[in-house]
Structures are given as structure tokens and as C-alpha cells.
Amino acid sequence: MTAAPLDRRAVVGLIERTGVVAIVRLPEGDQIHEVAAALVAGGVHVFEVTMTVPGAVEIIAALVASAGPDVVVGAGTVLDGPTASAVIEAGAAFVVSPVFSPEVVAVCREADRAVMPGCFSPTEILTAWNAGADLVKVFPATSLGPGFFKDVLAPLPALRLMPTGGVTRENAGSWIGAGAVAIGVGSALVDRAAVRDRRFDQIQQNARAFIDAVAAARPQTGVVKPR
């Protein structure tokens, strides 16, 4: 049964409440449904299928059609407006890019879909935010560290930042403690070896570990309401 689509504010709210976005970037897409089920069983209800996965648009459409009402499927590695339109047409509830493309942001805002452009510098982050980003994906976060978030948010506390790249079980709480509203996690969560060997229980355990790490770090932080 196809789940009723969530509106943009509801999608952003769910991402902020759960605090974890799984990045599904695999060389093949034939096991993504099993991966998605394991993620949900572990408490991660928001995941993006990157455009580097063969047949990504069709996979997104199939996942959306089978998703429960508390599952949000998005698209990642979206680089241009036509691709953003295609994944939105397929049912993607949010769109993520590794870079800031004004065209992608504009397409998503026109369609009332959540958008998370990738940015690196404070100027780029603020420019994307002012252009209409719902969350700003700080990428590659591994090059910056949690201290960068504290430094940026001190003069710009309204920003909603999500680190991606280099987020692990060990440092997940540090990012939340530094002010991130959510974390984007790829291989540390969706382990390719576990997928290859069909050890979906490992994916579920990874998901639970990240959810627990975020929850443990949350008491000292606040969550900004979606704009």
C-alpha cells in the first residue's frame, strides 16, 4: 500500500526528531528493499538513495510505493534541476546534493519538497540557507570536525546543519552536541560488506547504535522548528 506523502515541513520535522539520515550508496540496487527494512527495524526511518545507484529513480519509486506511513524516502547526489524533477516525480520526499545548486533548490521549493544542499564554507552555507535550504548538508564534514559547527552556529544560530562524510558511531554524539540537528551516515551505517553477505541484522544493529548515540547526545541540545 502506498503511503500518503508527507509535506515538506513534516519531512524536515521527522528528520530532526529521529536525527539520522541513512545514505544508501551501493554498486547495485537489487538488495535495497532488504536494506530499507533493516534500517527501519533499527529505528532509522529516513534514507536517501543516491543517484549513483543503478536505476535509482525506479528504485525510489518502488520504495515509496511500499513504504509505511512513518518512512521517508529521499534522493541523494542530485546535481541538477532535471534530475531533481525526475526524483520528485518518482515520489522522493526530499532531495540532497553534495554541492549547492541554486537550480536544485528552486525546483524543490517550487514542488514543496525538502532540500538539503551540500556546502563547505560559512558563506556557502548562509547563501544556501537564504536560497531556501531546509537543512544544509555540511560536506565533507570529516575535513572540518564538530568544532566547525559550534563556530558557525555562534553567530548564525538559526541555521540547521547536518554533517555528512566521516560520521561514525564514535563521533555521532559529538556532532549533535556541537549543534547539528541530524547526521547523514553512509558506509558506517549501510556497510557494503554486510549487504553483500546479506547480513541485514548488522545493518539493523548499526541503525540502532546511531539512533541511540543521537538520543544520548540530545538532552543538551535543542531542535529548531521547521521554517
Cα(3)–Cα(181) distance, rounded to whole angstroms? 25
Provide the pLDDT for residue 221: 45
Distance of CA 201 to the CA centre of its chain: 21
**Average pLDDT by consecutive 10-residue portion of the chain (227 residues)?**
68 95 95 96 97 97 91 97 98 98 98 97 98 98 95 97 96 96 97 96 98 88 44
> Cα dihedral sign for 117, 175, 225, 185?
positive
In the chain, helix, strand, coil percent, each to 5?
Answer: 45, 15, 40
pLDDT at 111: 96
Nearest in space to 42 (alpha carbons), one of 150, 201, 174: 201
The reported pLDDT for the residue numbered 5 is 60
Domains of the chain: 8-214 (3.20.20.70)
Condensed to tens digits (0 to 9), the pLDDT of residues 119-148 reads: 999 999 999 999 999 999 999 999 999 999
pLDDT value, residue 206:
98
